[in-house]
Chains A and B, each alone.
Chain A
Amino acid sequence: MVDIKKVTKLLSEVVTPTRVSDKDFDLFPYSRDLSPAKQKLPTHVVIPESREEIQAILRIANEENVPVYIRGGGTSHWDAYLAQEPGIMIDMGKMNKIVEINERDLVVSVQPACTWAKLDRELRKQGLTYLCSEAGGPAMTVGGSIMKAGSGPHGTAKFGFHGNQDVVTLEMVLPNGDIVQTGSAAWPSAGKFERQCLGPDLAGMFIGAEGTLGICTELSIRIRPATDIQERLLATMPSLDSVIEFGHFINRHVGDEYLQGIYLWVDPTAPEVFTLMMDIFGYEEEIVNHRRDRIIAKVKELGGEFGDRAPADDYFGHILTGLTDLFVAGVWHFFGSGTLRIDDIKFMYDIWKQELVEKRGYKKAGFGGQILPRRWLAFMVTNYREPAEWEELVEMAHGIDELILAGPVIPYGVGGRDGLRDIVASRDTGYYRLLKTLKKTLDPKNILQRGIFIPEEALK
C-alpha cells in the first residue's frame, strides 16, 4: 500500500507542492492512453522540470517502494505507460525544450517531451529537418517515440524507425538515480556527434525498452537539411505479390534512400485493392525526377496504375498534421501490428482478410503498413465506439494479436497487462531472460515502469 499523504509530502519537498497532486480528478486524466487499455489510476502525479528532480523522485520511490511510471504525450497504443500498480506518474510535459540545434554537426539536442512538430518548426527556421514524422506528430513526443522505438507513416525508407540510426546520444536517469550519457556524450570532453563509440551501444539498450531501464532526460538526434522539392505518388497495385516485388525493387535496385515512405493501405470494403502512397526524397529536382521515373516504370511493369494524388495528400495531411475526422467514427485502435520481412506481408494480410474480415465478419479495420529499410511495419487499425463496442473490440484484437505473433511477426510494442506483455513473456527466449537480468540489476526493487514489458512475478 502506498502511504499517499507521506509520498505527497516527500514529493512536494523535491519539486514544490505546485507540481505534485494526489487529487483524484488530477489522476484520472493519466489513467488511459490512446489504446483501449483498462483504466489504471496512479496515486500521484508529479511534474518535474529537471533531471535532478527526477533523481530525487526516484530516490523517494526506492525508499518508499512505490513504482514510478512515465508519461510523455500520453498517446501509447499498447498500455506502455499506464500505472500497472498504484504508483507515481511522472508527467514529463515541462521537460520539452529544444536544448541546442547544432547546424554544423547536424545534431539537435532536445528534452524528451519536445513534440515532433515543435522540433520540426524550429529546425525549419534554420533550413533543417528531422524528416521522419510520427502519426499524430504535433502531439507526440520525441522521447516517447524513441523510447518505444516508434515509427510512423512518414518514416524514411533510408533511416527507418526512430532510434535506428538517428539517435546520437541519450541522457538517462537510471532507477537508482545515476545519470548515464551514451555514445560520444559518455566522454565528457568530446560532445554529441556519434552513436557507437566507447564500447557497447548502450543507447540501443534503452531504445524500445519502454522506459523500464531508465528515464530519458535528454536526447540528441541526427538532423538534415530541409528540401522544398517534393514528389508524391499514389498508385493502385493489382495484387499483394506486386506490392512485395515493388518493395524488393526499392530495396535492391533503386536504393533505400529513394523514398521517404511507401505506405500501403487496404480498405476493408475493397480487400483486393492495394493502394500505395509514396513520397520521394531528394535534394535535387533532377534526382527526384529520375527516381520518380524509375518508380513509375516499375509500378507500370508490375501492372499498377497511378491515380490522383489527392487521397494521399488528404491521408498524410490528416494523419501528420490535423487528425482530421480521425475519431468521427469512434476512437482508434491499432492491433495486429508488428515488424516482418518483406515477403511475409502475405501472412499478415491473410490473417486480416480471412480471420478478421471473412471469419469474424469485422469489416471496420483497415490493413496497412510501410516498407521500412528491408522490412515492413504493418498493422490493422479500426475506429470503435467507447464504451459500447469496447469489450468486443478488445477480445477480437487480442485474438488477432495471438495469431499474428504466432507467425513471423515481431511485436511493434509490448506494454503492460493490456498490451502484449503476456504473449512476449510466454516465449521465454534467451533475449527475454537477459532483459530480465538487466532489469533486476539496474532496478532491484522494480521501481521503474513496474509491470510494463516484464510481469512483476517474472522478476521475483
Chain B
Amino acid sequence: MIYACGRCNYCKGVDFNDRCPEIFTQVWESSTARGRMAIARGILEGKLDYTEELAERIFGCFMCARCQEECKKAAQIDVISITKAMRADFVDRGIKIPEGGEKIVETALSSGNIFADTPQIHNQWTEGLEFTEGSGTLFYPGCLASHRFKEKTNILVRLLQAAGYILDFLGEEQTCCGTPLWVTGKLENAKQWAQDYLEKLQARGVKEIITPCPSCFRAFDEEYPELLGLETFPIIVRHTSAVLEEIVEQKKLKFTVPINKKVTYHDPCELGRYRDIYDPARKIFEALPGVEYVEMARNKENAFCCGGGGAVKTMFEDYSDTVAKERIQEFSSTGADLMTTICPACELNLTQGTYMVDIEARVLDVAELMAVSAGIVDEEILESDYFPED
C-alpha cells in the first residue's frame, strides 16, 4: 500500500496547510501523508529507522483522515492504518513514545479511565438519574463524557429517557473502552482488554450499546471485532447521532421551545470521514424551531480537525491548541452564536479553543439543543455567559 503513493501532493491541500492539521502545526513535508509514505518506504527498504526524534512526526498526526479523504480518490491508501501500524512499531521496538502517550495508557490501565478518576467522581454525572440494570440497552458515556462533561452527559441521558429509551449503565464497573491502547500503538494488552470487556457486557445481558463518544463507538464496533477476530461485534453499537436522529424521525419527543440562535456544526472526524455519518445533526437542526443553520467553510468530508484527534492532545498539547484555535476562528467567521458537535473530545478541545481565542461562545452537544427545545432543560444553557457547574 505504501508504494501506491503517486506523490501527487493532494494530501497537503490547496493552501498547503488547509487540510492537514499536522502540517498546519509542524510545517514539514514529513508531517504529510505523502511524507509519511516516504518515511515508511525508507523504513521498509532499510534506509531509515524508527527513532525517538521521529516520534513527533508519527505521533503528531491527528489521525483525522483528511489526507485519506483525498488519497482515497487517487491512490486509496489507508493512511490511518499505516500510521497506527507505525506507532505500534515504535512500541514493538522499544523506542520511547511521547510521554503523554505512555501516561494515558498507564492511567487507563491502572485506574480504568484516562483521568485516574475514582468511580465516585467518574460517575457524578449520574446524579438524579435512574438506570435499569439488565434492560439490554447500555448507555456507555466513555471517559470524556463521564469526567469532563457531567452536565452535558446528564442532559443527554435525560433526553434519551424522556424519549423512552430504557437504559442500563455499568456504574462502577465502567472502564475505558481501550482506545488509548491502539492509538498509541501499545497493543500488547488490547486483545485481552477487548475480550474481558465483551465477556462483561454479555454477562450483563447487553444487547445494544449507545455511546456519545465516536472513539468508543468505533472501539466496540470496529476495533474489538478486529482484535478478537470476529466478523462483527456480537452487540449492536450505536452512536448517539443515530439515536437522536431516530428520536426526531419517529417523533418520540415534541420540539416546541424555539432555539432562536444561529448555529453551526463541527463534523467529528471519527464519525464523518471514518464512518460517513454527516447527516443526522443537520437533519435534527431542521426539526428544531428557531435554529438558523449555517455551515463552516470546511465542512463534512472537508472539515478541519478540532485538534483532539490521534491522542495529540495528550502528547503535543500546543499543537492540539493551535488547531482548536484555528477551528474556533473558522466558527467565528460564520457569525454563528453556537458551535455544536456530537463528540465529547471535540467539545472539550473546541471549548478550550473558545477560551484561547477569547470569544464568548458555547460549544454544545446536539443533544443539548434538543433538550432545550423539548423543554427538558432551561434555555439558559444556550447563552454564552452560562457556565455549567462541571
Contacts and interface: CB of A to CB of B under 8 A. Distances in A.
Nearest to A139: B9
Contacts of B47: 28, 39
B6 A45 contact: no
Interface in A296-346: 318, 322-328, 330-332
A330 B76 CA distance: 11
A113 B16 contact: yes
Interface residues of A, number: 47
Contact of A96 (B7, B9, B16, B48): B16
Interface string A1-38: 00000000000000000110101111011111110000
B29 A327 contact: no
Contacts of B27: 18-19, 47, 93-94
A32 B7 contact: yes
B51 A25 contact: yes
A316 to B, nearest CB: 15
Nearest to A135: B8
Interface string B64-98: 00000010011110000000000000000000000
Interface size class of B (residues with CB under 8 A): 20 to 34
A18 B28 CA distance: 10
B313 interface: no
Contact of B7 (A33, A91, A94): A33
Interface in B239-287: none
B57 A25 contact: yes
A152 to B, nearest CB: 14
B32 interface: yes
A214 to B, nearest CB: 23
Interface stretch (A115-123, A196-204, A251-259, A435-443): A115-123
A139 B67 CA distance: 13
Contacts of A94: 16, 27
B223 to A, nearest CB: 27
B39 A29 contact: yes
A24 B10 contact: no
Interface string B37-66: 011011000011001011001000000000
Contact of B42 (A28, A33, A34, A328): A28
Contacts of A18: 27
A386 to B, nearest CB: 5
A327 B48 contact: no
B273 to A, nearest CB: 16
Interface of B: 3-10, 12, 14-16, 27-30, 32, 34-35, 38-39, 41-42, 47-48, 51, 53-54, 57, 70, 73-76
What are the nearest 9 A-B pairs in CB distance? A139-B9, A29-B35, A327-B6, A323-B74, A327-B75, A29-B29, A29-B38, A117-B14, A322-B73
Interface of A: 18-19, 21, 23-26, 28-34, 39, 45, 47, 73-75, 91, 93-94, 96, 113, 115, 117-118, 121, 136, 138-140, 318, 322-328, 330-332, 385-387
